[in-house]
Copies of this chain bind each other. A is one copy, B any other.
Amino acid sequence: MNRNNEDYRSPAVPALTKILLEDVKKIFKTTSGTPFLIPTTGTGAWESALTNTLSPGDRIVSFVIGQFSLLWVDQQQRLGFNVDVVESEWGAGANLEVLASKLAADTAHTIKAVCIVHNETATGVTNNLASVRKILDHYQHPALFLVDGVSSICALDFRMDEWGVDVALTGSQKALSLPTGMGIVCASPKAIEASQTAKSLRVFFDWKDYLKFYKMGTYWPYTPSIQLLYGLKAALDLIFEEGLDNVIARHNRLGTATRLAVEAWGLKNCTQKEEWFSDTVTAVVVPPYIDSAEIVRRGWKRYNLSLGLGLNKVAGKVFRIGHLGHVNDLQLLGCLAGVEMVLKDVGYPVKLGSGVAAACAYLQNNIPMIPSRI
């Protein structure tokens, strides 16, 4: 990414863009989807997904299971949609039984979309998208299936075509390990069709402008970040070199190791059931006599360690360990050792080394040789 600006109207940028649009479809596991590389953040990608497919007043179903899904629902409401909010306890996954009953009742097909966060970063909960599709299919419901994959795509198993996802989105700064600034949105043919008639007012996020320039072969309705385009190329090359499925396996390995450490510390995972365990972030519940924010502060101030705060309902109650993106086993182990020291600092009677030992015992049996070094 360390390069000068160049004229995005020169022939070089469309040539690069064309390659990127093809490559990026692979991380969504789609062949029929249409990707958009939007100079925005995850929040902007959300807005793009919603405003291009829905009209103000449209009824949608959306799940609140933590801070990020909450923020998305807030956005949905402020953009004028009529949101059936389905809440779960924070730490649980989306309540799909409620979804089923809503769809069953909605014989008139007033529900236009089902919106779900694949991986709730605030609680470390991964929702089961295949089940959502199954329910939609069971009721032969035509609602669009919109997925926030910000902290999942390129790290967790995600299958746009197989699961019939209509809009999936991610951001450059998560599993792609790039700087913030690119919202990557992928739309199914059905979503593209919906965008022709969706009445939400939008210009910056309007897919129509992109599609017009795609047809012209110049690709960009406005100035992209040249640096992020080259960065995306480099990030995808790294991922394809490792192998997307190997990347996903690595995240599973790191997630498992982290959970074993948490268990060894005698602490509770915020995620209530194993089926929801997230392989990209682990939210750890602290005992009531400890303020989790103090753990985060102390990690940063003493150990140069970045942990995630507990947000909103779980503020003070959980801290979060991220294991997402271009990160390897030893980096995680250094982090886990740091957490142990912080825990002791704040008065939790952890046995130093216990979490690292548990993680190592698992990792030592499961880390593969680095293919390029064999």
Q: CB-nearest residue of chain B relative to A372?
A: B12
Query: Contacts A181-B39, A228-B181 given: A329-B303 contact, CB under 8 Å?
Result: yes
The answer for the CA separation of A372 and B204 in the assembled complex, in Å, is 34
B43 touches A221 (CB 8 A): yes
Instruction: Give the distance to chain B from A198, nearest Cβ to Cβ, in Å.
Output: 13
- Per the bound structure, the CA–CA distance linking A341 and B44 in Å amounts to 43
Which residues of chain B are within 8 angstroms of A363 by Cβ–Cβ distance? 341
A252 to B222, CA, bound (A): 27
Contact A300:B333 (CB < 8 A) given known A179-B228, A353-B353: no
Q: Which one of A25-33, A157-165, A304-312 is at the B interface?
A: A304-312
Please indicate the chain B residues that have their CB under 8 angstroms from the CB of A180 in the complex.
Answer: 5, 39, 223-226
Which of B306, B344, B374 meets A7, CB within 8 Å? B306
Does A85 count as interface, using CB distance less than 8 angstroms?
A: no
Residues in A322-374 with C-beta less than 8 Å from chain B: 328-335, 337-338, 340-341, 344-345, 351-354, 356-361, 363-364, 367-370, 373-374
Q: Which of A191-209 contact B (CB under 8 A)?
A: 200-206
Write out, one digit per residue, whether chain A residues 222-247 have a CB within 8 A of any chain B CB (1) or not (0): 11111110000000000000000000
Interface positions, chain A 32-62, Cβ under 8 Å from B, are 39-44, 46-47, 56
Chain B, Cβ-Cβ closest to A6: B306
A374 to B356, CA, bound (A): 28
Query: Out of B44, B203, B306, B368, which one reaches A204, CB within 8 Å?
Result: B44
Query: With A222-B43, A334-B330, A338-B330 known to touch, is A11 a contact of B300 (CB < 8 Å)?
Result: yes
Specify which of B43, B202, B226, B337 is in contact with A360 (CB 8 Å cutoff).
Answer: B337
Q: Which of the candidate stretches A73-81, A91-99, A111-119, A277-285 sits at the interface with the other chain?
A: A73-81
Q: Contacting A367 at CB < 8 Å: which of B11, B302, B331?
A: B302
Residue A173 interfacial (CB < 8 Å): yes
With A11-B373, A203-B47, A357-B356 known as contacts, the answer to whether A364 contacts B344 (CB < 8 A) is yes
CB distance from A306 to the nearest CB of B (A): 4
B residues in contact with A2, CB < 8 Å: 2
Further 9 A-B residue pairs, CB within 8 A, beyond A40-B44, A333-B333: A41-B204, A44-B44, A78-B202, A181-B225, A204-B205, A304-B328, A330-B335, A333-B338, A334-B337
9 contacts between A and B (CB under 8 A): A5-B173, A5-B179, A39-B44, A40-B204, A43-B204, A179-B225, A352-B356, A353-B353, A353-B361
Q: Which A residues contact B (CB, under 8 angstroms)?
A: 2, 5-7, 9-11, 39-44, 46-47, 56, 74-75, 78-80, 171, 173, 177, 179-181, 200-206, 221-228, 300-306, 308-309, 328-335, 337-338, 340-341, 344-345, 351-354, 356-361, 363-364, 367-370, 373-374
